[in-house]
Amino acid sequence: MLWMESVEHELLREAGVAVMDEMPDGSVESWPRVSVSCDYRSAIRFGDVVDIEAGVEKVGRSSVAYRFHFTHDGRAVATGRVVAVRCLLQHGGRPQAVLVPEEIIAKLSRYAFPTDPAAGEAAGPA
């Protein structure tokens, strides 16, 4: 999870999307994760260098699903998926899902994984 979160944040920074947006009233909009999964394909050892490609699988009304591909020396070692929901966070209150702004949708769409019909999943970053 830690690696996927770090790569997700790097993707957001590269896209020009803030991880946390402070609102004029002092509240914050951010991206809490609601689902995380990772399927391991082959082993790596401590100290191995792992490359991680990330892309946007889908942008919903209030959520973003990311896909991750982990490789070591060109060999697939894992695939992961994270779903984050855009939420309004107010002091003392519960997170409230909010719509993903059109500007953010446009920025994230540049990072979409193309669908590979033969594999039945995302093929890789655009």
CATH homologous superfamily, domain 2-113: Hotdog Thioesterase (3.10.129.10)
pLDDT of residue 2: 85
Query: pLDDT tens across 18-43, in order?
Result: 999 998 888 899 999 999 999 999 99
pLDDT of residue 114: 65
pLDDT of residue 33: 94
pLDDT of residue 115: 57
Beta strands in the chain (DSSP E): 21-22, 28-30, 33-40, 51-59, 63-72, 75-85, 87-89, 96-97, 115-116, 121-122
Q: How many CB atoms lie within 10 A of CB 120?
A: 7
Query: pLDDT tens across 73-125, in order?
Result: 999 999 999 999 999 998 888 999 999 999 999 999 999 986 543 444 444 44
